[in-house]
Structure 1
Amino acid sequence: MTTPIDISEKDGIRYLHFGSSWVQGAMRINRPWNLELEYTQEMMASLLLRNEARWPRKILLIGLGAASLTKFLYRYRPDAHLTIVEIEPDVVATARHFFKLPEDDKRIHMIIGDGAEFVLGTNKKFDLILVDGFNEHAHPGQLNSLPFYQACRSCLSDQGVMAVNLLGLCKGVLGGFAHILTAFNERALLFPSCPSGNTIAFATEGELINIDLEDLKTAAIALKEDSGLNLLPTLSRLEKAKICKDNTLTI
């Protein structure tokens, strides 16, 4: 890797950096399974969108970082198989050494490679695709292109959901979301920006998502009881933004 990987610690939190002060990932040392960064929590709003008891069973993560999403899903979705595509082998080694990435070849399939090339070349189907890949300049490259999102759609199962972290696109957030809308024939939703500045987009394939906000809150409470993750503030922002017509989230 041309850009050095740096590790810092402050107030019980370990941070991952790619040669700058910009945080690429974080872990609270005494709670390594928790999601420390707000945007990773918001990406897990995906888990509220399907009400099947054992959903998702097959998960694709593009970008590893500090393995926060991987660890959370590994712990709280024990039936799920996770495929992770990370372009830099040093990031994988760092996640294992400093961020407690589990060693479990039965449930975790680690691929060192380009995420865009992977989805363009695979015929596998996934219930959940999480896209969170950036370089040291917060640029996603081909991970924010129409062909990539079209390929992601083709990789989704009938219950499939994709969540994308659009951080780093700045004024291009809406342009990036426009690619997602085109790829998914308008079946996408842009959540209000997190206080941290990240913007998370969700898109789906197959069965319509049509959930009353009160039912989403009930699901969020259940997820909080199970994992400690509190998505009620996310749903409150969603409600205040009046994105959901008739208080119903539809994708």
Structure 2
Amino acid sequence: MSTPIDISEEAGVRYLHFGSEWVQGAMRIRKPNALELAYTREMMAGLLLRDGLADDGAHWPKRVLLIGLGAASLTKFIYHNCPQSRLQVVEIAPGVVAAARQFFRLPPEDARLSIRIGDGAAYIVEKEARFDYILVDGYDRNARAGALDTAAFYQAVRSRLSDQGLMAVNLFGRSKGYKASVERIFAAFDDRAIAFPSCDSGNVVAFGAAGEPVERSIAELRERALALRTTTGLDLLPTVTRLEQAGSLPGGSLIL
């Protein structure tokens, strides 16, 4: 069955829907490369956690896998703000890719950006490539993640992460299965995981880490968030504040 695609606009923001009221992506028309939705901004919090250099001197992340294209918000942000990154996008619905190109200014494929039509869960299992950053944001018209929210999938993702690898997953915090999803992620990553406090929209972003340890004090997180806001316009200072207020940083540090 093909994915029904609907486009709406309100107050200068264009929205993507899959035949329902659920918002599957958004773009502020005057700022097409900015991250309009709060959860997409938080999925980029990996930029606060890693800063190492690859063997060739390139900054993190060098290789990025995005499962689920949506309105291409994350793809565009990384493409335009992380010139060292090579992006592989896997999207199961051809119509979503077409809509992203027509309505959401998805860049054309080139040496840095490759788009594959296919199943993200199958791709993770079949391919042996490793990635620094794997971002998972795949839902159907009924807000179901299916195979992208299973223990086997999260374990497979972990096996595809580099020594500085991070996974970021968008979860629906208001769904009945949310806590079970978080438990699967923690189990797959041997507790090297964190679920951020729910956004106003009800979305929860969870991270899992592989390889080198992550340890950032609140002061470091704020300093890096300020630098990121200056260089890219992405403001993650509210996220750091929410983590601190929610008690998610025991001992004043984020440790993964």
- Shorter-normalised TM-score: what interval? over 0.9
Supply the AA of the counterpart residue of 2:154.
Answer: Y
Encode CA deviations 1:45-95: one digit per residue, 9 max, x unaligned: 111111226100000000000000000000000110000000001100110
Deviation at 1:30, TM superposition (A): 1.0
2:72 is aligned with 1:64 = no
Between Structure 1 and Structure 2, how many residues are aligned?
A: 251
Supply the AA of the counterpart residue of 2:25.
Answer: G
Q: Distance in 1 between matches of 2:115 and 2:109?
A: 10
2:2 is aligned with 1:2 = yes
Q: Distance in 2 between matches of 1:196 and 1:94?
A: 23
Deviation at 1:2, TM superposition (A): 2.9
Q: Distance in 1 between matches of 2:122 and 2:236?
A: 33
Q: Which moved more, 1:45-54 or 1:112-121?
A: 45-54
In structure 2, runs of 5+ residues without a counterpart are 54-58
Match of 1:237 in 2: 242
Over 2 Å off, 4+ runs: none
Supply the AA of the counterpart residue of 1:198.
Answer: N
Q: Distance in 2 between matches of 1:172 and 1:200?
A: 14
Deviation at 1:104, TM superposition (A): 3.0
Q: Distance in 2 between matches of 1:189 and 1:23?
A: 25
Q: Distance in 2 between matches of 1:99 and 1:91?
A: 10
2:93 is aligned with 1:73 = no
Q: 1:201 aligns with which of 162, 182, 206?
A: 206
Q: What fraction of aligned residue pairs are identical, expressed as a percent?
A: 54
Match of 1:26 in 2: 26
Q: Distance in 2 between matches of 1:37 and 1:47?
A: 17
Supply the AA of the counterpart residue of 2:16.
Answer: L
Deviation at 1:239, TM superposition (A): 0.2
Q: 2:225 aligns with which of 220, 226, 237?
A: 220
Q: Mapping of 1:148-163 within 5 angstroms?
A: 148-163=153-168
Q: 1:91 aligns with which of 81, 87, 96?
A: 96
Contact 1:56 1:128 in 2 (8 A): yes
Q: Distance in 2 between matches of 1:169 and 1:126?
A: 30
Q: Distance in 2 between matches of 1:206 and 1:23?
A: 34
Q: Distance in 2 between matches of 1:168 and 1:212?
A: 26
Supply the AA of the counterpart residue of 1:16.
Answer: L
Supply the AA of the counterpart residue of 2:23.
Answer: V
TM-score by length of 1: 0.98
Supply the AA of the counterpart residue of 1:166.
Answer: L
TM-score by length of 2: 0.96
In structure 1, runs of 5+ residues without a counterpart are none
2:49 is aligned with 1:44 = no
Name the SS of the counterpart of 1:129 in structure 2. strand
Name the SS of the counterpart of 1:189 in structure 2. strand
Match of 1:186 in 2: 191
Match of 1:11 in 2: 11
Q: Distance in 2 between matches of 1:172 and 1:232?
A: 29
Match of 1:104 in 2: 109
Q: Distance in 2 between matches of 1:56 and 1:146?
A: 25
Q: Distance in 2 between matches of 1:195 and 1:227?
A: 23
Deviation at 1:169, TM superposition (A): 6.4
Distance 1:84 1:31, change over 3 A: same
Contact 1:169 1:176 in 2 (8 A): no
Q: Distance in 1 between matches of 2:173 and 2:228?
A: 29
Encode CA deviations 1:163-207: one digit per residue, 9 max, x unaligned: 000127612111001111111111101111111110010000000
Supply the AA of the counterpart residue of 2:182.
Answer: F
